[in-house]
Amino acid sequence: MIADFIVFVMERKYFLVGGITLLMFLMSFVSVKAQNSKNVNDSLRTLNILKKTLNETVNNVNKAGDENLNIEIDGMVMDETLTKVGRDFYDMFYSSWVAPKNAKNYTIKIKEMVLPGLANQVTIFVDDNEVFKQKIQPRYDILEQMSKYANQMTLRYLNNYEKMKSQLDGDDQSGTGIF
């Protein structure tokens, strides 16, 4: 098309400024059109590569199975205290807390209830099972002793729980289902 136009201009000897301008416009138009088609092809190629990568990733995740879905945060200690005395108890408990090595998938919740008078009641739950329940007083030495005792009770509970769980999961308790 452009070659025909150039031949037409050469034969007619129309070397006017308008003809040259028109020729330049057509050449730039064709150049821009070629670049756009190249960009479209590049975009389509990139889109196909991205789709392929996405499909491969989805297939890999599906092949991995449910292994990644069983993620839990182990050993979280939650503070649900209301007063300064309860917060001090929580701080003392948490500063001396060392989780047992074999314990898994547990959450400790320290909850405080304000009682009439000068005493507050602190309850410690491990996975919603009450482990420790005691009235505490705002005296530092008593608070420190109670936090150490609560720490021991929680450790004992977790150790016993893991022992019982391992015994129940042992070979003696599993069977074939045949009588």
pLDDT tens sequence across 46-56 = 777 777 777 77
Residue 17: the pLDDT is 45
Q: Which of 39, 64, 89 is the last residue of a domain?
A: 64
Domain count, the chain: 2
Same domain, 42 and 89: no
16 located within any domain: yes
- CATH number for position 157: 3.30.160
Please report the DSSP string for the chain in residue order.
-HHHHHHHHHHHT---HHHHHHHHHHHHHHHHHHHHHHHHHHHHHHHHHHHHHHHHHHHHHHHHTTGGGG----SEEEEE--SHHHHHHHHHHHHH----TT--S-EEEEEEEE-SSS-EEEEEEETTEEEEEEEE-S-HHHHHHHHHHHHHHHHHHHHHHHHHHHHHTSTTT---S--
pLDDT tens string, the chain, 179 residues long: the values are 545 555 554 555 444 444 455 445 555 554 555 555 555 566 677 777 777 777 777 777 666 655 555 566 678 888 889 999 999 999 999 999 988 888 778 889 999 998 887 778 999 999 889 999 999 888 899 999 999 999 999 999 998 988 887 777 766 656 666 65
Residue 177, domain member (yes or no): no
Domain that holds residue 21: 2-64
Q: Decide if 29 is inside a domain.
A: yes
